[in-house]
């Protein structure tokens, strides 16, 4: 049985010098043209498989035949040394505990939070407070990316604690304190070096400093969210604690210990806060570049009462289409979170896939491939709209080709959650303001190939000006 095709590279080093590690998705787009939708390469003896077709992704990750083999996560420094040996959802292999927590968390995000209403009402309140603050900044230069980064941390603090938090609170400080070292640790060069040589965490130097900082920030998070502070009776931490108590009552003991709860809290920083912040940064760059999109959104928003709620989403198909197009155009996690076949060698189609192959889903490549989306480099929400003005249904080809939050049992658990949050951000701000370019500063291009690199890409730095609508 043969291996999938792919670039051969140098002995031992493989593709180490040919892969642009800060923009892997762009290199993968080039290689896809030469080697097809399923190709493989090596770096320092490690096998990597790259998938660039939505149907192959579904077959690999979401069918009885293959899903069990290809839905583990790659072993890495972060999961072993920071996340207590993968006691979490994001970094853990797809075992029973991971699936149990994931199912409970999905139910919490997709049903409980929507039914209980307190969460999205409080997010809308946060946004209305922001509107009041922005009224003092009308016609001035505004660093909207920083403002929205702050807003996202407040929203996640609200999600975790069940209460609105302020920028001077311990919760805000501990969440924001973890983001920078976690982003630094996620950089390919730091993370792969520490994964290969974990003892470097103890040898004086940059990597030890980074690890020590991350551990210190982790302790802050733990003290804050699991420590002595008064805990509310709602929010994600409360839900996880209640799960533990229920399990103890039913089985006499529970494997959901504080490390597991902390694992889920830590997951939310790279998996929820950073993608949401970075998506919103691109949202504003798109809005500044496309005043006609803003106008169309505003036409729909003006039909709403002052108190926008998430139930209004279904009434506003153009805004729904804009959010989908934003996610496609940007594709915040361009190569997704790596999967792995840790349980053994596997066979896929006519190919043999060696044990421990790490699998990249080339999401950015798929979303910018003309076979799947017409005119893929343009921001065109209309592609998600049917002729009668409604949003296209789940069976429409553009919806089937949207894989922005992954497919199968490892798919994102915050997909509809983030759509609802972005909906409240867009509708509440555009009801009152026009977002305009800052004429004092050259506006960076709205070109997804040029978004800043990283595991989660972001808009380049820019300022804008808010004018009254």
- Binding annotation for heme: 412
Give the nearer residue to ligand HEM in terms of CB position, either 5 or 409: 409
CB of 417 to ligand HEM, least distance (A): 5
| 272 touches ligand HEM by CB under 6 A | yes
For the segment 89-118, give every residue that binds ligand HEM (CB under 6 A).
Answer: 89-90, 102
Say whether 220 sits in a helix, a strand or coil: helix
The β-bridge partners of 466 are: 435
Instruction: Give Dmax (Cα) for the chain.
Output: 67
**Residues 293, 322: contact at Cβ < 8 Å?**
yes
- Stretch of 16-24, 118-126, 281-289, 411-419 lying at the interface with ligand HEM (CB under 6 A): 411-419
Where in 325-354 is the site for ligand HEM (CB under 6 A)?
332-333, 336-337, 339
DSSP secondary structure of 182-215: HHHHHSHHHHHHHHH-GGGGGSTTHHHHHHHHHH
Q: Which of 410, 420, 431, 458 binds ligand HEM (CB under 6 A)?
A: 410
State how far the alpha carbon of 287 is from the alpha carbons of 175, 276, 281, 446, in Å.
28, 16, 10, 10
Rounded least distance, CB 338 to ligand HEM, Å: 8
DSSP output for 384-406: GB-TTSSBPPTTSHHHHT--TT-
What count of Cα atoms within 13 Å lies in the side-chain half-sphere of residue 111?
6
Question: Residue 149 Cβ, how far from ligand HEM at the closest point, in Å?
Answer: 14
Nearer to ligand HEM, 281 or 405 (CB): 405
Q: Which residues contact 328 (CB under 8 A, 6 or more apart)?
A: 367, 373, 402, 404
Residues annotated in the binding site, as ranges?
Answer: 412
When the beta carbons of 96 and 388 are compared against ligand HEM, the nearer one is 96
Query: Segment contacting ligand HEM (CB under 6 A): 126-134, 192-200, 213-221, 275-283?
Result: 275-283
| Single residue of 418, 427, 453, 457 touching ligand HEM by CB under 6 A | 418
User: Does residue 54 touch ligand HEM according to CB under 6 A?
Assistant: no
Binding flag, residue 217, ligand HEM (CB under 6 A): no
What are the tokens at 456? Answer: 């989660």
Pick the closer one to ligand HEM by CB: 89 or 322: 89
Q: Which is nearer to ligand HEM, 80 or 208 (CB)?
A: 80
Size of the site for ligand HEM (CB under 6 A): 25
**86 vs 190 by CB, closer to ligand HEM:** 86
385 binds ligand HEM (CB under 6 A): no
Q: Which is nearer to ligand HEM, 106 or 297 (CB)?
A: 106
* Among 145, 155, 404, 459, contact with ligand HEM (rule: CB under 6 A): 404
Tell me if 373 sits within 8 A of 392, measured CB to CB: no
Report, in Å, the least distance between residue 275 CB and ligand HEM. Answer: 4
Q: How far apart are CA 331 and CA 323, in angstroms?
A: 12
**What CA–CA distance (Å, rounded) separates 347 from 49?**
13
Which residue lies nearer to ligand HEM by CB, 23 or 327? 327
* Least spacing, CB of residue 176 vs ligand HEM, in Å: 16
- Determine if 267 is a binding residue for ligand HEM (CB under 6 A): yes
Q: What backbone torsions phi and psi does residue 309 show, to the nearest 5 degrees?
A: -125, 170
Please give the C-alpha separations between residue 86 and each of 104, 259, 360, in angstroms, as whole numbers: 18, 10, 20
Burial class (CB in 10 A: 0-12, 13-18, 19+), 89: buried
Query: In terms of Cα–Cα distance, which of 398, 391, 380, 399 is closest to 293?
Result: 380
Residue 144: helix, strand or coil by DSSP? helix
Residue 185 Cβ vs ligand HEM, minimum distance, rounded to whole Å: 17
Cross-strand bridge partners of residue 468: 433
Which residue's CB is nearer to ligand HEM, number 51 or number 200?
Answer: 51
Residue in 152, 413, 425, 429 binding ligand HEM, rule: CB under 6 A? 413
- Which residue sits closest to ligand HEM, CB atoms considered? 414
Residues of this chain that bind ligand HEM (CB under 6 A): 89-90, 102, 267-268, 271-272, 275-276, 279, 332-333, 336-337, 339, 404-406, 410-414, 417-418
């Amino acid at each position: 049985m043969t291996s999938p095709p792919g670039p051969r590279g140098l002995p031992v080093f493989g593709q180490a010098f040919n892969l642009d590690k800060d923009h892997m998705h762009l290199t993968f787009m080039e290689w896809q043209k030469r080697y097809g939708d399923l190709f493989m390469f090596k770096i320092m003896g490690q096998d990597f498989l790259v998938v660039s077709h939505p149907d192959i992704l579904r077959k690999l990750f979401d069918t009885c035949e293959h899903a069990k083999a290809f839905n583990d996560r790659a072993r890495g420094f972060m999961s072993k040394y920071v996340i207590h040996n993968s006691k979490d959802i994001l970094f853990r292999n797809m075992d029973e505990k991971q699936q149990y927590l994931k199912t409970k968390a999905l139910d919490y995000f997709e049903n409980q939070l929507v039914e209980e209403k307190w969460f999205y009402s409080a997010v809308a309140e946060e946004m209305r407070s922001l509107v009041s603050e922005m009224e003092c900044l009308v016609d001035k230069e505004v660093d909207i990316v920083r403002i929205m980064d702050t807003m996202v941390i407040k929203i996640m603090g609200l999600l975790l604690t069940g209460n609105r938090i302020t920028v001077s609170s311990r919760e805000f400080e501990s969440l924001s304190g973890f983001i920078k070292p976690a982003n630094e640790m996620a950089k390919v060069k730091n993370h792969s070096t520490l994964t290969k040589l974990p003892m470097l965490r103890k040898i004086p130097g940059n990597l030890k400093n980074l690890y020590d900082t991350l551990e210190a920030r982790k302790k802050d998070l733990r003290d804050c969210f699991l420590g002595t502070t008064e805990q509310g009776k709602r929010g994600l931490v409360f839900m996880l604690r209640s799960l533990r108590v229920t399990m103890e009552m039913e089985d006499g003991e529970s494997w959901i210990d504080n490390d597991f709860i902390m694992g889920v809290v830590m997951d939310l920083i790279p998996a929820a806060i950073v993608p949401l912040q970075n998506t919103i940064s691109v949202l504003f760059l798109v809005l500044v570049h496309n005043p006609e999109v803003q106008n169309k959104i505003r036409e729909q928003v003006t039909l709403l009462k002052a108190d926008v709620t998430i139930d209004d989403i279904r009434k506003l198909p153009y805004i729904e289409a804009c959010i989908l197009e934003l996610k496609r155009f940007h594709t915040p996690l361009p190569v997704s979170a790596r999967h792995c076949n840790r349980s053994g060698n596997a066979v896929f189609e006519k190919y043999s896939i060696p044990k421990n192959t790490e699998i990249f889903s080339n999401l950015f490549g798929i979303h910018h491939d003309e076979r799947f989306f017409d005119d893929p480099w343009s921001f065109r929400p209309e592609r998600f709209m049917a002729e009668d003005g409604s949003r296209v249904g789940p069976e429409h080809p553009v919806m089937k080709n949207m894989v922005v939050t992954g497919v199968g049992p490892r798919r994102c658990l915050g997909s509809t959650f983030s759509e609802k949050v972005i909906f409240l951000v867009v509708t509440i701000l555009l009801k009152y303001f026009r977002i305009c370019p800052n004429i004092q500063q050259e506006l960076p291009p709205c070109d997804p190939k040029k978004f800043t690199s990283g595991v989660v890409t972001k808009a380049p730095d820019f300022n804008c000006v808010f004018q009254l609508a």
